[in-house]
Structure 1
Amino acid sequence: MVGSQLQRSILVTLADSGPLYVVDIAAAVNEHPLTIEQACNRLHEADVIHPIGCRRYDVTSAGYQQLTDVKQMSSRSDVRSKSEGRS
């Protein structure tokens, strides 16, 4: 499971535009490349991204599945919030 907001941002950025170099991810999410490298290491340990060489990363199938699961959960909460407001 992706823990921090930064890690979620990295995962979404890679899913939308990857594979990307650390410096490109850093520019996309407005963070220092060292911070991104550390977060990418944690994401790699969680098996949601994988390095493809030269500080370049891409999303794994587990990472795409996690994004799908999160989107499904958030869409369910949106439906609940909208229906609760109709009472």
Structure 2
Amino acid sequence: MSRQRLERTVLDALADESPRYVVDLAAVIDEHPITVEQACDRLRDGENVRSVGCRRYEITAAGRRRVDDAQPATGESAVSTETESRS
């Protein structure tokens, strides 16, 4: 998994339930705890999560905005599919 994808997955997990321990995050997203801890450190440096002690992290307002900004728009697609263009 790429760093960006891993960080996004961590943020999604924390948006669902926060705070969480690194080992619990690792179990939820099926990654090694050290890898998850490194992602959390990067997210903390970017102020998307904060450490609440004992290898436990919670999402910040900036992290929630990052999750919300990346959500796909709800509604109809403006792109027609192959079957829609057949008459």
Identify the TM-score tier after normalising by the shorter chain.
0.7 to 0.9
Structure 2 residue 50 is the aligned partner of structure 1 residue 50: yes
Per the TM alignment, residue 66 of structure 1 is displaced from its structure 2 partner at its CA by 1.0
Q: Tell me the distance in 2 between the aligned counterparts of 1:43 and 1:52.
A: 14
Query: Is the partner of 1:64 in helix, strand or coil?
Result: helix
Q: Which residue of 2 aligns with 1:75?
A: 73
Structure 2 unaligned runs (5+)?
none
Q: After TM superposition, where is structure 1 displaced by more than 4 Å over at least 4 residues in a row?
A: none
Tell me which protein shows more helix as a share of its residues: 1
Q: Which residue of 2 aligns with 1:41?
A: 41
Letter in 2 for 1:48: N
Query: Is the partner of 1:5 in helix, strand or coil?
Result: helix
Percent sequence identity over matched residues?
A: 41
Q: Which residue of 2 aligns with 1:19?
A: 19
Per the TM alignment, residue 68 of structure 1 is displaced from its structure 2 partner at its CA by 1.0
The higher radius of gyration belongs to 2
Per the TM alignment, residue 56 of structure 1 is displaced from its structure 2 partner at its CA by 0.3
TM-score, with length taken from structure 1 = 0.83
Per the TM alignment, residue 67 of structure 1 is displaced from its structure 2 partner at its CA by 1.0
Aligned residues: 81
Per the TM alignment, residue 80 of structure 1 is displaced from its structure 2 partner at its CA by 3.0
Letter in 1 for 2:78: R
Q: Tell me the distance in 1 between the aligned counterparts of 2:34 and 2:76.
A: 35
Q: CA distance change for structure 1 residues 77 and 6 in 2, over 3 Å: closer, same or farther?
A: farther
